[in-house]
A and B are shown apart, each in its own frame.
Chain A
């Protein structure tokens, strides 16, 4: 699971009003390189919840991202930032671990990079 995916995931348990962002328990992180696409990053950037993203990247072991969301202009001028943004967003994979509902503490397992977000009968 990449951090871009984490940025869109939310707990859908019955009764939960604030299911985002999910907490992350890390057992294994894997890095997989992928080609950088500047246009893609510029278009994706405004959609990201930056706080959730930068917190998550720290949990995954990557501390290079700024805490505060940078100005969009940075994407055009700062190649170094673009590379870091790309790396955290798309190249870090949570391979083994869990995602945690912020309201109930319920854990959604992540195995072989695949989160299982299915709910039990009593959670729907």
Chain B
């Protein structure tokens, strides 16, 4: 798939922009089929879940016994204004959106720090959409990768200059050891000048942010650091409405987790209410064998290990009692014992209860926090921005949890956004690619 050259944006005229947009907008169903072809060649990023034979999976899940179904506690859905309105402590409303909540410190930051080398060894396959986007950028482009992880995409286009940043120092060390330019920074507060980069990418990052305001802030930062006419590519783990019945593997949220979520610096939350934290099985990427297992086999295996049903929802749906969707998950990561000993962090993690031992698998099990995006959620967050326009979006429908990707373009002309929106509505010609 070819993208129009960015140089066409550098001396813009309205018709040029329209032309480019025509090229870039295409039917998302076609995109789904297009991406599906890639899956067959096994070049998709291992960030994706794999699932084949949905009916088989559903029938297996029903047989699984409930584990650890002790106390249930639910949380108010994210979004600070809502939380503030139920908060009894007035001090809670002064917490900055840039301040890291406890749940992210415990179940994102510390986990990635502990698993960094092992995690990095499983992150090598490049998602074709991201690779194509990066390869389309003109020579001399400044590309900012916010949440770069092990630097998988840094330097992918050798004619561009990449700067990666991540919250995890061990992951950044891996990037720099490979010769890339990288620094330790926070995606909700990027240390870059405004409107300086040519492009920015955020690949599988936003779903680790635990409130809507933080996710919004991270998107604002991506748009801020990119010049007018620049491009931003975001991918997150999202669930399509019709696929929700697949995600019914739960770990109930216990009182312990609620305490950790609340933490000294977190926005106040109230229970009980809408939804609980659930866990879903690992993907093949953190299987203990070094090679890629058959995706269907490994998913079945992992589901049997850790799955249980949500007793509140007999129809196995994601929607909780009061109709709101459950989107908060813990995803386990199995760190093999020999890796855990090397990192050293696991002894502390086990002692503090941040991780558990699984002797059967010979691994220390960490949980990573994920906010699974609902259908249209990422689009809604982006659409709310005045200075950015969605140019393209697609879902990887071959996966159990699909990735939703958006391109956004900034324009210097305030009336351009409306013109482009008109074009997007009119122009859904299937001849576009």
| Residues 1-37 (chain A) with a chain B CB within 8 angstroms | 1-2, 4-5, 8-12, 14, 20, 37
For A30-48 the 0/1 string (1 means CB < 8 A from B) is: 0000000101111110010
Sampled A-B contacts (22; CB under 8 Å): A1-B183, A4-B181, A5-B163, A9-B192, A10-B191, A10-B192, A12-B191, A39-B140, A39-B159, A40-B159, A42-B140, A44-B161, A114-B172, A114-B173, A114-B183, A116-B183, A116-B184, A118-B167, A118-B186, A119-B189, A121-B265, A124-B189
A115: interface (CB < 8 Å): yes
- On whether the beta carbons of A5 and B99 are closer than 8 Å, the reply is no
- On whether the beta carbons of A112 and B176 are closer than 8 Å, the reply is yes
State the CA gap A4–B185 with chains docked (Å).
Answer: 17
Q: Which residues of B contact A12 (CB under 8 A)?
A: 189-191
| Residues 39-61 (chain A) with a chain B CB within 8 angstroms | 39-44, 47
For A104-124 the 0/1 string (1 means CB < 8 A from B) is: 000010001111111101001
| Other contacts beyond A12-B190, A44-B161, A119-B98: 16, CB < 8 A | A1-B181, A5-B183, A9-B192, A10-B193, A20-B193, A39-B159, A40-B159, A43-B138, A43-B139, A43-B140, A47-B196, A112-B176, A113-B176, A114-B183, A117-B165, A118-B186
Q: Which residues of B contact A117 (CB under 8 A)?
A: 165, 183-186, 191
State the CA gap A41–B160 with chains docked (Å).
Answer: 10
- On whether the beta carbons of A8 and B192 are closer than 8 Å, the reply is yes
State the CA gap A41–B140 with chains docked (Å).
Answer: 7
State the CA gap A66–B380 with chains docked (Å).
Answer: 48
Q: Which residues of A contact B141 (CB under 8 A)?
A: 43
For the complex of A and B, 3 pairs with smallest distance between CB atoms? A43-B140, A124-B98, A117-B191
Least CB distance, A106 to chain B, in whole angstroms? 12
Least CB distance, B300 to chain A, in whole angstroms? 41
Q: Which residues of A contact B99 (CB under 8 A)?
A: 121, 124
Least CB distance, B267 to chain A, in whole angstroms? 14
State the CA gap A4–B180 with chains docked (Å).
Answer: 13
B96: interface (CB < 8 Å): yes
Point out residues on A near B: beta carbons under 8 Å.
1-2, 4-5, 8-12, 14, 20, 37, 39-44, 47, 108, 112-119, 121, 124
Q: Which residues of A contact B182 (CB under 8 A)?
A: 114
Q: Across the two chains, which residue of chain B brings its CB closest to A11? A: B191
B169: interface (CB < 8 Å): yes
Q: Across the two chains, which residue of chain B brings its CB closest to A113? A: B176
Q: Which residues of A contact B190 (CB under 8 A)?
A: 12
Q: Which residues of A contact B194 (CB under 8 A)?
A: 10
Least CB distance, A31 to chain B, in whole angstroms? 14
Q: Out of A9, A14, A39, name the residue touching B191 (CB < 8 Å).
A: A9
State the CA gap A116–B169 with chains docked (Å).
Answer: 8
Q: Across the two chains, which residue of chain B brings its CB closest to A4? A: B161
Point out residues on B near A: beta carbons under 8 Å.
96, 98-99, 138-142, 159, 161, 163, 165, 167, 169, 172-173, 176, 181-186, 189-194, 196-197, 265
Q: Out of B140, B167, B189, name the residue touching A44 (CB < 8 Å).
A: B140
State the CA gap A51–B165 with chains docked (Å).
Answer: 25
Least CB distance, B281 to chain A, in whole angstroms? 32
- On whether the beta carbons of B193 and A8 are closer than 8 Å, the reply is yes
Q: Which residues of B contact A5 (CB under 8 A)?
A: 163, 181, 183
State the CA gap A1–B179 with chains docked (Å).
Answer: 11
- On whether the beta carbons of A118 and B185 are closer than 8 Å, the reply is yes
Given contacts A40-B159, A124-B96, contact A47 B142 (CB under 8 A): yes
State the CA gap A39–B157 with chains docked (Å).
Answer: 14
State the CA gap A4–B192 with chains docked (Å).
Answer: 12
State the CA gap A1–B191 with chains docked (Å).
Answer: 14
State the CA gap A11–B161 with chains docked (Å).
Answer: 21
State the CA gap A40–B181 with chains docked (Å).
Answer: 16
Q: Which residues of A contact B96 (CB under 8 A)?
A: 14, 124
State the CA gap A116–B138 with chains docked (Å).
Answer: 29
- On whether the beta carbons of B193 and A40 are closer than 8 Å, the reply is no
Least CB distance, B175 to chain A, in whole angstroms? 9
Least CB distance, A63 to chain B, in whole angstroms? 24
Least CB distance, B378 to chain A, in whole angstroms? 24
Q: Which residues of B contact A112 (CB under 8 A)?
A: 173, 176
State the CA gap A116–B182 with chains docked (Å).
Answer: 10
Q: Which residues of B contact A115 (CB under 8 A)?
A: 183-184
Q: Which residues of B contact A1 (CB under 8 A)?
A: 181, 183
Q: Which residues of B contact A4 (CB under 8 A)?
A: 161, 181
Q: Which residues of B contact A114 (CB under 8 A)?
A: 169, 172-173, 176, 182-184
Q: Which residues of A contact B197 (CB under 8 A)?
A: 8
Q: Across the two chains, which residue of chain B brings its CB closest to A45? A: B140
Q: Which of A4, A108, A112, A124 has the most CB of B within 10 A?
A: A124
Least CB distance, B389 to chain A, in whole angstroms? 23
Q: Across the two chains, which residue of chain B brings its CB closest to A109? A: B184
Q: Which residues of B contact A42 (CB under 8 A)?
A: 140
Q: Out of B139, B165, B172, B183, name the residue touching A40 (CB < 8 Å).
A: B139
Q: Which residues of A contact B185 (CB under 8 A)?
A: 117-118
